[in-house]
């Protein structure tokens, strides 16, 4: 059992002389920064993406590995859609933490500069979360995209409105 499995894990004070606040920041392009410098170690950046969560009491974004946790700043969305895979009956999102899940186009939204966002991690204890499509992933939707207002996606022979349950922002 990890300390993070204990019900009071997030309520315990930081180790003596330390704080739960950090200078870690996730920018709008999905890149981590620490003390104003980019995190360049690929394995560390991958680990940070896999440790994203929300504090159960205040809802702020945290990084936790089950042994310790800290608050961090998110400039835009906490996850990125790095790639997509168009399958016969669904569109699969490849997220910045390495996981995959199906796109729910009706829960998507179009934000500033026509960036596409999707709701992800619905089953996570602290979910759902928003994920911003990278330009590469958004462009990869072209074969399934049907022009309209709102835009439509052809999935499994049916048309699905992007953001039918949400409001266009930006």
Strand partners, 100: 94
Strand partners, 101: 93
Q: Which H/E stretch holds residue 43? A: helix 42-50
**How remote is the C-alpha of 73 from its chain's centroid?**
13
- Strand duo 73-74 + 24-26: pairing: parallel
Average pLDDT over residues 80-95: 96
Strand partners, 64: 69
pLDDT in tens, 93-135: 999 999 999 999 888 998 988 899 999 999 988 899 999 999 9
- Domain locations along the chain: 3-74, 79-161
Domain 3-74 is in which class? alpha beta
Q: For residue 32, give the 3-state DSSP assignment.
A: strand
């Amino acid at each position: 059992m990890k300390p993070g499995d204990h019900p009071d894990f997030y309520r315990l004070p930081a180790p003596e002389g330390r704080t739960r606040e950090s200078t870690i920041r996730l920018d709008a392009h999905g890149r981590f920064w620490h003390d104003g410098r980019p995190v360049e170690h690929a394995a560390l950046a991958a680990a940070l993406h896999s440790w994203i969560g929300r504090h159960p009491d205040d809802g702020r974004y945290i990084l936790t590995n089950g042994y310790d946790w800290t608050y961090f700043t998110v400039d835009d969305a906490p996850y990125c859609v790095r790639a997509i895979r168009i399958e016969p009956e669904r569109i699969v999102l490849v997220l910045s933490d390495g996981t995959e899940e199906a796109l729910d186009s009706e829960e998507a939204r179009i934000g500033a500069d026509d960036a596409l966002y999707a709701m992800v991690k619905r089953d996570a204890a602290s979910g759902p979360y928003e994920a911003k499509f990278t330009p590469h992933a958004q462009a990869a939707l072209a074969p399934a995209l049907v022009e309209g207002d709102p835009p439509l996606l052809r999935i499994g022979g049916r048309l699905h409105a992007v953001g039918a349950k949400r409001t266009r922002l930006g």
